[in-house]
Amino acid sequence: MALINNGYKRGSKVIVEKYINDVMATGYPKTYNALLSFPGYNALTQAQFAELSSAAHTDRMNAFQSYVEGEEAGSSFTDNLVAGFERRIYDTTSCPRGW
């Protein structure tokens, strides 16, 4: 079965910045990558990540979110994610449909 673009691009990295009194904390920013292994999930290539079914992608990203929020006390994807950097974004310029 051939893969067909559906117009969505998938994000795989989260950059966490931590400030104390308006100064970046030591060791930050930190980058977390959903393509790398984390508890319960093996590492994937970019192609494997792109080929995940919608359900598998949602499961992996839910687990990745829980992992990052567990590593970074007080962080929240719901409250702190910058608009335009969601898990998946409809963008037919970067991901032309049917290609």
Instruction: Dump pLDDT digits (tens) for 9-64.
Output: 677 888 888 889 999 999 999 999 999 999 999 999 988 988 888 889 889 989 99
Does residue 20 form part of some domain?
yes
Does residue 30 form part of some domain?
yes
Is residue 84 within 8 Å of 90, Cβ to Cβ?
no
Q: How confident is the model at residue 6 (pLDDT cuts 50, 70, 90)?
A: low
Residue 47: domain span: 8-81
Residue in this structure with the two tokens 């335009």, named with its chain if needed: 84
- Structural domain count of the chain: 1
Does residue 69 form part of some domain?
yes
Q: How far is CA 35 from CA 1, 42, 48, 50, in A?
A: 24, 8, 9, 10
Does residue 91 form part of some domain?
no
Tell me phi and psi for residue 67, to 5 degrees: -60, -50
Does residue 88 form part of some domain?
no
Q: How far is CA 77 from CA 14, 45, 51, 55, 87, in A?
A: 9, 24, 24, 19, 10
Does residue 95 form part of some domain?
no
CA 35 to chain centre: 8
Rounded Cα distance, 68 and 92, in Å = 29
